[in-house]
Amino acid sequence: MINLNDILLLSPEITLIIGTFVVIIADLFFPKKSYSAIFTSIFLIISSILSIAMVANLISYNDSSGLSIINVLSIDKYSLFLKSLILVSGLSISVCGINLLSEELKSKGEFWALFLISITGMSLLTSVTEMITAWVALELTSLPVIGMLALNQRKHSLEVSLKYLILSATSSAIILMGIAYIYGVSGSTFFNEISTIDTSLSGKYLFKDSTNILLLFGALLLVSGASFKIASFPFFSWVPDVYQGAPTIVTIYLSVVSKIAGFSIIIRILFDAINSSMVSEWAIYLSIMAAVSMTFGNVMALRQSNIKRLFAYSTIAHAGYILVGLASSEPDGLNSGNLAGIQSTVFYLAAYAITNLTAFLSILSISREINSFEIEEFKGVGTRIRYQSIILAISLISLLGIPATIGFMGKAFIFTSAISNNLMWLALVGILNSVISAYYYIRIIRLMFIDSSEVQSSKTANSDLNTRIITSFGAVLIIVLGLAPVMLLGIVEDVVNLLQ
Amino acid sequence: MPGGILSFLIFFPIISGILIGIFSENKFLKINIKKTSLLITGIQLILSILIYFSYDKTIGGFQFIDYFDSWIPFEAFTARYIVGIDGLSAPLVLLTGILGFCSVIASMNIQLRQKEYFMWLLVLQGVVTGVFASLDLLLLFVFWEAELIPMYFLISIWGSGRAHYSAMKFLIFTLTSGALLLIGIISLYFSTGTFVMFDITELGLSGIVNSNLSLAIPAIFIFFIFFIGFAIKLPLFPVHSWLPDAHTDAPTAVSIMLAGVLLKMGGYGLLRINVDLFHYIDPSILTDLGPYFAIIGAFSVIYGAILTIQQTDLKRLIAFSSVSHMGYVILGFSSYSAFASVGSTEGLGGTALQLFTHGTITGLAFLLVGLTYERTHTRYIPHLGGLVNKMPLITTFFVIAGFASLGLPGLSGFVAELMIFVGTFKMGSLYAVSTIVAVFGVVLAAGYTLWMIQRAYFGKEVKGDSPVAKIFDQLTDLNKLELLSVVILTITIVVVGIYPSIITDVLDIGVGEIFTR
């Protein structure tokens, strides 16, 4: 039964649910429309503080087991770390959204209520240890997004929303199929019970002799379904259209927060639920996912003219890089304590979240001033909106992976893990891909700064203050953690320790 | 010298450059950026000279070591911050100091976006010093890649002609070389278990501490990954095509740094990793394949020289001559042999000296071309002629640079090329044939250098529709500051030519230690 202690453990999510109601009710009583975003931010602050306090507590007590809530949710260092990352990213988005959300959406309080519900789902997703709960949490993250996409009530936003709905439903169906397979083989939906079934014996239920392969197949269906969340091969065709057509706040939310949540559940399933003797088999599948995502994303990004669409392809490529780290989680590493692959994955995930959030918020704030998302229109913003442009340039350099930024450290860790796990070909594909990506990232920087002399700079504009504060913080993190990655690395090492 | 001096040499220009970029022009503060930059690089110059001459030749080995453990303690690897110099890198650190100072002098006429320009120029100098001083391979890679950003901006904002195209080409080529380097460095780590160079040379093959031997990345694969990475930077045929474009479109100061220092990163990498480290990992690779590298080197010399003769743009001409001269580096590099025979040490010593001398000679040539271009506004050789009447000093120094470049005895180019030829010739038949072929490169060099000087600076005064003819009467010679930078480089060339021991004493220690460490 749930007791008081469990309620304390779930306090971040409970705060968010209370926040949802407050936002809906406040929308009725307060005519001033930016209140919804402010209330959202306040509840996200409380929730983030609770989550960070819990993870700090667990780290300082060196508690590696974590606490379980009726075997369905596990509140441990790993889940709390990613939860904090999700909540802080969500907080950054909502704080910037106070001023930067389009006027049309500002008048709709339910936008922020949906946002909070979706974040609640993602926050739960980091700690699930049971299949059905995982599916419910996944749906909880997706369904509100459909509403958020459609709220604009323009023709293309309905189209985008429908596209998202159909693909989301397809991926859910595939996930359910995967759950069914795993349940059929193991007779359980709990991760800990699935991982302890004896695969050497014949199947408990229907399929004798083929337990192993069916379990693996089920897991691969789950991972494929979750690839919808992380925007990687095979479910990435929705990404460019939805990213371009969605309100930018939602695009940022999908590209950063949704990706963290998707990876958190994939890592959980692969490490907690699936027997570790099967690692080498799913590693091949993940390598293929990684290679296709990286190559497709980077090659398609080369010729884009809309910056949101370009970033859509770029996030596909980055999902590929993260999958490289996951694919190179060492087969026997879980026993020998060599966790380089999973460490590099979580490190890169955090690095990606910081960098992409900084980049995207800067883009949002700049495009607010120039009223366009066309890359050509970014010509000369380096002189007009100088501060925000410098921050965007720093984050682009980090996405490209030039040293002295956190992006470089992430890539170095990922490719090192790949080479150390005999995945030299994958490391080569990844490194060549980052060379390709130089072209489109540097093109943006060039347009911003180098071509500025050719543009008659009209007036200098100041970007939104909230955005400036948050992105400055992001830029500082990019450089400081890029020079001394040990600060983040120490936490990551501690956090993934318990995934054995 | 006090501890931390090498770290100071690396980070002083980087930090002061960034401070200039941020604070030099605001409401409260107005700094003369040009004079400040001159002061900073002046300090760098004096410090690098001091460091070079206080390198203790009786002790040898790595000196001025700064050490900072646990820079990146990752599960799969540990990287440390270690800088220090030995006989191989000390002259290159000195070279960076000299050329950094000269490049700031060459930038005195920059008007466009001054503070950014000098910020990037100073950052570039610090980062390049970092490349030569790093003793940890990952640290070396960090500096290697960090050099890209300043170079990209310097070429594409302040460049001329197709600057964007050239800068992007430079960026893609260098990123590819960096990518190969990263793969090589990580592979090396998993065979040896360390990033620290002197650990690898101490442990060698016996130092394979990584129990995961199933990895089995063959040493020859790592060798070629490194070789191709450095060959792009050097540059060697057929991956040289970025160099003429980048040089031609870059501003003068950047050409000086590019030809004088950045190309040397490739040569230094070959000596440091493919020779020094691989002597302890698998010396048989280079010993066995030496003759083929000699052939590639000789081909590169002749091919570069033939391309050079056809050029009609002063800057492009000197850029292509760099391709030819870097062929000598490969030739000397090939003369390595696992058994430290006499030819081997001479050839490698010559290679290391060639890096230093080519840096000063080509630096001087680019500086003078830049100064000429500032006055004539064209580099197209048929539009020039008879400049000696208006620019006697520029012409005189250009003749010195040209003679040094074609290897006139008494100037520094001669010593280096002679050492390479002698060293490589001794190694055996295929080496000797390659050397004989490469010697003809000197003849071609005499041809293109003298012909170029004759057409552009001597010969008849230009008349008719040449744009120079209209402004010919207003042409001026060197001013005092420009004279200073030209004289510094000329003195280096002449002194090393007459008394080569001033550099070779230190280099010999470095080369000798490859075999005896």
pLDDT in tens, B235-268: 888 888 888 888 888 888 899 999 889 999 999 9
Chain A CB contacts of B172 under 8 Å are 435, 438-439
Chain B CB contacts of A450 under 8 Å are 153, 156-157, 164
Please give the DSSP secondary-structure letter assigned to residue A1. -
Chain B CB contacts of A298 under 8 Å are none
Beta-carbon neighbour count of residue A281 at 10 Å?
Answer: 15
Res. A330: pLDDT tops 90:
no
CA distance A362 to chain B (A): 20
Chain A CB contacts of B70 under 8 Å are 486
Res. A73: pLDDT tops 90:
no
Domain boundaries, given as residue ranges, for chain A: 275-500
Of A403, A439, A453, the CB nearest to B142: A403
Do A494 and A63 contact (CB within 8 A), yes or no? Answer: no
Chain A CB contacts of B182 under 8 Å are 412, 415, 431
Give the pLDDT of residue A39: 86
Chain B CB contacts of A412 under 8 Å are 138, 182
Q: How many whole angstroms separate alpha carbon B253 and alpha carbon B369?
A: 11
Chain A CB contacts of B141 under 8 Å are 403
Are B145 and A493 an interchain contact pair (Cβ–Cβ within 8 Å)? no
Do A354 and A270 contact (CB within 8 A), yes or no? Answer: no
Res. A119: pLDDT tops 90:
yes
Chain A CB contacts of B186 under 8 Å are 415-416, 419-420, 427
Mean pLDDT of A76-80: 87
The tokens 């770029």 sit on which residue?
A314
Residue B466 — left, alpha, or beta (φ > 0 → left; ψ -120 to 50 → alpha)? beta
List, as own/partner pairs, every contact residues A276-281 make where C-beta atoms lie below 8 angstroms and the sequence separation is at least 24, other chains included. Answer: A276/A195, A276/A331, A276/A334, A276/A335, A277/A199, A278/A199, A278/A212, A278/A215, A278/A216, A278/A219, A279/A329, A279/A330, A279/A331, A279/A334, A280/A331, A281/A216
Of B75, B142, B149, the CB nearest to A339: B75
Q: Which amino acid is at B172?
A: I
Looking at this predicted complex, what is its ipTM? 0.84
Chain B CB contacts of A417 under 8 Å are 76
Chain B residue whose CA is closest to A489:
B74
The strand pairing partners of B66, in sequence order, are B83
CA distance B208 to chain A (A): 14
Q: CB-based burial of residue B29 (10 Å sphere; 0-12 exposed, 13-18 middle, 19+ buried)?
A: exposed
Give the pLDDT of residue A198: 61
More confident residue, B105 or A32: B105
Are B190 and A420 an interchain contact pair (Cβ–Cβ within 8 Å)? yes
CA distance A452 to chain B (A): 10
Among A169-183, A456-470, B14-28, top mean pLDDT goes to A169-183
Chain A residue whose CA is closest to B186:
A416
Mutate to test the interface with B, among A294, A334, A435, A479 (most CBs of B within 10 A): A435
Give the pLDDT of residue A473: 93
E strand or H helix that includes residue B357: helix B342-376
Please give the DSSP secondary-structure letter assigned to residue B387. G
Chain A CB contacts of B183 under 8 Å are 415, 419, 424, 427-428, 431
Give the pLDDT of residue A460: 64
Using alpha carbons only, give the angle A165, A170, A173 rounded to the nearest 5 degrees.
125
Are B145 and A403 an interchain contact pair (Cβ–Cβ within 8 Å)? yes
Give the pLDDT of residue B343: 63
Mutate to test the interface with A, among B22, B75, B157 (most CBs of A within 10 A): B75
Chain A residue whose CA is closest to B154:
A450
Residue B320: name the closest of B238, B243, B412 by CA: B243
Whether the CB of A417 is below 8 Å from some CB of chain B: the reply is yes
Are B215 and A422 an interchain contact pair (Cβ–Cβ within 8 Å)? yes
Cβ contacts of A344 within 8 Å, gap of 6 or more: A325, A328, A410, A413, A414, A416, A417, B74, B76
Give the pLDDT of residue B209: 41
Res. B103: pLDDT tops 50:
yes
Residue B378 DSSP SS3: coil
Chain B CB contacts of A302 under 8 Å are none
Of A420, A449, A484, the CB nearest to B76: A420
Are B190 and A419 an interchain contact pair (Cβ–Cβ within 8 Å)? yes
Encode pLDDT of A229-274 as tens digits: 888 888 888 899 899 888 888 999 999 999 999 999 888 888 877 7
The distance from CA B166 to its chain's CA centroid, rounded to whole angstroms, is 19
Q: How many whole angstroms separate alpha carbon A378 and alpha carbon A412?
A: 31
Chain A CB contacts of B77 under 8 Å are 416
Residue A315: name the closest of A404, A225, A238, A370 by CA: A238
Phi, psi angles (nearest 5°) of residue A117 = -60, -45
Give the pLDDT of residue B230: 92
Are B71 and A484 an interchain contact pair (Cβ–Cβ within 8 Å)? yes
Res. A197: pLDDT tops 80:
no
Are B168 and A439 an interchain contact pair (Cβ–Cβ within 8 Å)? yes
CA distance A431 to chain B (A): 6
Are A427 and B183 an interchain contact pair (Cβ–Cβ within 8 Å)? yes
Whether the CB of A339 is below 8 Å from some CB of chain B: the reply is yes
Mutate to test the interface with B, among A321, A336, A420 (most CBs of B within 10 A): A420
Give the pLDDT of residue A479: 92
Q: How confident is the model at residue A456 (pLDDT cuts 50, 70, 90)?
A: low
Whether the CB of A403 is below 8 Å from some CB of chain B: the reply is yes
The distance from CA B213 to its chain's CA centroid, rounded to whole angstroms, is 37
More confident residue, A105 or B136: B136
CA distance A485 to chain B (A): 6
More confident residue, A317 or A284: A317
Chain B CB contacts of A442 under 8 Å are 152, 168, 171
Mean pLDDT of B16-32: 79
Of A402, A420, A446, the CB nearest to B145: A402
Give the pLDDT of residue A337: 42
Encode pLDDT of A129-143 as tens digits: 888 999 999 999 999
Residue A118: HSE in the Cβ half-sphere, 13 Å Cα cutoff: 27
Do A321 and A298 contact (CB within 8 A), yes or no? Answer: no
Chain B CB contacts of A339 under 8 Å are 75
More confident residue, B215 or A78: A78
Beta-carbon neighbour count of residue A301 at 10 Å?
Answer: 23
Do A350 and A492 contact (CB within 8 A), yes or no? Answer: yes
Q: How many whole angstroms separate alpha carbon A327 and alpha carbon B241?
A: 37
Helix, strand and coil in chain A, % to nearest 5? 80, 0, 20
Of B75, B175, B186, the CB nearest to A415: B186
Res. A328: pLDDT tops 80:
yes
E strand or H helix that includes residue A316: helix A307-327
CA distance B147 to chain A (A): 9
Whether the CB of A425 is below 8 Å from some CB of chain B: the reply is no
Res. A461: pLDDT tops 70:
no
Are A419 and B142 an interchain contact pair (Cβ–Cβ within 8 Å)? no
